[in-house]
Chain A
C-alpha cells in the first residue's frame, strides 16, 4: 500500500516538474502508438467492412482466423518482426531495427486484426440493416463499403480506441524490436519494465500512472470530439 502511495507521489512529482525525460518518452509513446493505430485503422476498418459486404469461398475461415489473430502474443510478433528487420534477415538493409519505425511496424501487426475484427462485427450488423436498401439503390461494392464506414463511424472510433488501448500498454514486442534505447526508442512501457528491473518500484509505478492517465485522456478526447461533431444529426 505504502509503495502505491509512493508511486502516486512520484507520478505527481514527475508531472508537476514537467520532467523532460518523462515528456520525451510520453511523446514517443504517443507518436509510436498513434501512428501505428492510424495505419492499422486505414487497413483494418475497410477490411472489416469488406468482410461484411463481400461473399467469397473462405470467408468464414478468414473471419475465424482474424478473430484468432486478435490474441497474437506480442512477444512472438516482436520476435518475428525482429528476425525480419535484423541485419541477417530479409529486410535488414532497410536499417529499421531499433528505431521507432520498427516499433510502429510491430504494433501495426498486433493491432490490425483487433481493429479489423471489431470493425467487422459492427459493419456486419449495419450491413444487415442496410443490405436491401443499398442493393435496391444499385450501389457498387466500393460505395457500399464507403457508406458502411461513414455511417458506422462511431463504432469504428470504438474499434480504433480498442486498438490504441492494446498498443499503448504493450511492452513485449516493442522491447524486442525497439531495444529500449534511451533518447531513441524508450517509451513509457519499456521504461516501466526497466525501472522495475532496478527495483525502483515508486518510479515505475509513477510512470504507470502517467500511462494510465494518458490512455484515459486519449479516450475522453476522442469521445468528446465524436459527440460535438454529430450530436442530434443521426
Chain B
C-alpha cells in the first residue's frame, strides 16, 4: 500500500466572511516525525490542522496527498480540543470507527477492550463516555483516533484543560504511536510540551507561518524576533 504522505499544502487560504483565518500557507508534511504547531490564540493553529485534515474548505490553494483524497481521509486521525463524546459507553465509542470501516462487531469490541486497557479505562468499558472525567475523555478520544492505526494523527491542543498526570499519560501514548510509525501533528500552548515532543516546529502568527524547521534549531537558534520572544516567555500576540 502506497503511503498517503508526504502531504503538500500550497498557497492555502481559509476565510470566514471577509476575514482571513489562514494563509496563504505553503508546507510539506514528510512521512516521519512529530511536528508541534506553536502560536498565540487566533494564530490559525486550529484552522491549519483542520485544513490539513480536510475539515475546512480552502478558499484558494490546495492540499495534495499521494493518493486520492477519498483514500487518504480514512487513513487519518483527529483529536479535537474539546473531545466529542458519543452517547455510547466506552467500549462502543472505541469500536465505532472500526465497525464503520467494516470490522466485524465481535472483533471490533475485542480490539476496543484492548485499547481501553492501554489507556487505563479497562474497568470502565460499560460506563457512559459522557460521564468520564476530562482526562479520561481526552484519552478515549485519542484511542478512538488511533484505533485504526492511522498513518497521520492530528491533535488540536489535546492537553489544554488537563492536569499534569493526564498530560503525561497522553504524551506517553503519543510517543508509543510515533515509535510505531504514526506521523503526528499537534498544536499546543505549552513550550515545555513542545520541547519534550517535537522533532520539528511550525510557528504561526496571524494565519501565516513565521518560522519553521527542526526542533533543535528552533529552540536553540530561533531566527525571528517573535520566536525569540516566545521562547523567552514574553507575551506574544
Scoring A129, A130, A135, A137 by chain B CB atoms within 10 A of each residue's CB, the highest score goes to A137
Q: How far is the CB of A147 from the nearest CB of chain B, in Å?
A: 8
B89 and A138 contacting across the interface, CB-CB below 8 Å: no
Tell me what chain B mostly uses at the interface: helix, strand, loop, or mixed.
Answer: mixed
Check if A130 sits within 8 Å of B84, measured CB to CB: yes
Q: Taking the complex as formed, is B80 at the interface, i.e. its CB lies under 8 A from any CB of chain A? A: yes
Per-residue contact bits, chain A 119-153, to B (CB 8 Å; 1 contact, 0 not)? 00000000001101101111100010001000110
On whether the beta carbons of A233 and B74 are closer than 8 Å, the reply is: no
Is A232 an interface residue when CB atoms closer than 8 A count as contact?
yes
Residues 49-91 of B, flagged 1 when their CB comes within 8 A of A and 0 if not, give 0000101000000000000000001101110100010111100
| Minimum C-beta distance from B145 to chain A (A) | 8
Number of contact residues on B: which range applies? 20 to 34
Query: How far is B130's CA from A151's CA once the two chains are assembled, in angstroms?
Result: 12
Is B97 interfacial (CB-CB < 8 Å)?
yes
Q: Number of contacts between A and B (CB, 8 Å)?
A: 44
B129 at the interface (CB under 8 A from A): yes
CA distance A133 to B141 in the complex (A): 10
A137 touches B100 (CB 8 A): yes
Whether A234 sits at the interface, judged by CB under 8 Å, is yes
A-B contact pairs, 26 of them (CB 8 A): A130-B86, A132-B55, A132-B78, A132-B80, A132-B84, A133-B80, A136-B55, A136-B76, A136-B78, A137-B96, A137-B97, A137-B100, A138-B73, A138-B74, A139-B100, A147-B96, A151-B86, A151-B88, A232-B131, A233-B88, A233-B89, A233-B126, A233-B128, A234-B88, A234-B128, A234-B130
